[in-house]
Amino acid sequence: MPPPPAPLPGKKRRIGVLTSGGDSPGMNGAVRAVVRMSIDQDCESYAIYEGYEGLVRGGDFIKKMGRDDVRGYLSEGGTLIGTARCMAFMERAGRLQAAKNMVMTGIDALVIIGGDGSLTGADTFRREWSGLLSELVEKKELKASQIEPFQYLNIVGLVGSIDNDMSSTDATIGCYSSLARICDAVDCIDATASSHQRAFVIEVMGRHCGWLAQMAALSTGADFAFLPEKPPNENWKEEMCGIISRHRKMGKRKTIVIVAEGAHDLSLHKVTPTHVKDLLSNTLKLDTRITTLGHVQRGGSPCAYDRMLSTLQGCEAVKAVLDATPETPTPVICVIENKIVRKPLIKAVEDTHAVAKAIEAKDFDRAMQLRDAEFSEYHNAYMTTTATDQPEMRLPKEKVGTRESVADSSDL
């Protein structure tokens, strides 16, 4: 076995990049940005194919990348360097092999593009790093002189997720592409729904996060929406049927109900598209169909926003690697109010898990608060624009005449 390459001089690094977990549009743009920014900073860049599986297996799964190797990546959907569930990396023996492969390749920093589970695994790997190297020397798989240049490992996270389910960031790579795909699908369904005066119940992804369902409902003018964080009232069946009935009486020929896959009621009983369909069919006598969009939401080319976001965050990830010291907490690259920022990874993951815990505890107000600042505002905007009758927003009768009088006098 050849010895590991000598470390690069100064602060130059060999930076590995991998994609892990579910794919999302824009991941390829992030890989492209990491590769090209690394080269621009006189570093070396390595693509690790098939996620953590490639890190454990090593060999041909780890490839040195040049600028031309990522040509055309920006417009491609999915992840061109692959992703795979890796049970081996969940065990210490797998992480031990991954550490050896990195040392033998000379990689001393990692950029991980994935969801909260993938990023948590990366931080665990970093915390164990020195112990893994010591164990490799004890087992005589590596020499002390070989591990000397690799005493610490820096890791930077990028969030690739269509669900937009990570706290501490306004958007995750891929979420707006997925939302656009949902809106396109609903627009197509609208045509046949209006033609036949049908109702459609559309299931979208989101087990613990209702961002896609909420934003799709807001963007398509859906009649009703079910989110994990904000279950409907106890009388939701009557409320939904009432809203839809009023819409129909006003001349609306179609009905669209958006259901997140993790939707439930206040008692955490699952609300399925079939439940909603049966209610619309039996109570309102509407010809109702179910459409589950499934993995269509993940596919296709990334939208302009995700191409931009993935590029900017990929470049920032390389800067974060070069700025890091052994004491620097693992950062995750976020976007907040259109600014690319670094946030502590573990805090972001903890806040994300806190949402699921709040939902399990039926503390739905807390769950809404733990989402980004605009989440509740978007929900309120949707509820306002979909409602047909909101008495609380009307002026009191005694003020109506006063306003008219003021208006009349202003015309003089």
Of 123, 163, 223, 372, catalytic: 163
Joined together, the tokens standing for residue 409 give 């006098």
Does residue 169 contact residue 372 with C-beta atoms inside 8 Å? yes
**What's the CA angle centered on 400, arms 399 and 403, to 5 degrees?**
85
What is the mean predicted confidence (pLDDT) over 335-357?
94
Instruction: State how far Cα 363 lies from the chain centre.
Output: 23
| 120, two tokens | 């948590």
> CB atoms < 10 A from the CB of 398, how many?
7
Q: Is 323 a catalytic residue?
A: no
What tens digit of pLDDT does each residue of 144-177 get? Answer: 999 999 999 999 999 999 999 998 999 999 999 9
Q: Is the pLDDT score of 261 beyond 80? A: yes
- Each residue of 371-383: pLDDT tens digit? 877 898 999 999 8
Neighbours of 8 (CB within 10 A): 15
Beta-bridged to residue 286, according to DSSP, are none
Confidence grade of residue 395 (pLDDT, cut at 50, 70, 90): low
Quick one: pLDDT band at residue 411, thresholds 50, 70, 90? very low
Give residue 39's pLDDT: 97
Q: 232, 226 in Cβ contact below 8 A?
A: yes
Q: CB–CB of 342/353 below 8 Å? A: no
CA distance linking residue 332 with residue 342, whole number of Å: 6
The answer to whether residues 32 and 314 touch, using CB atoms and an 8 Å cutoff, is: yes
Q: How far apart are CA 146 and CA 127, in angstroms?
A: 20
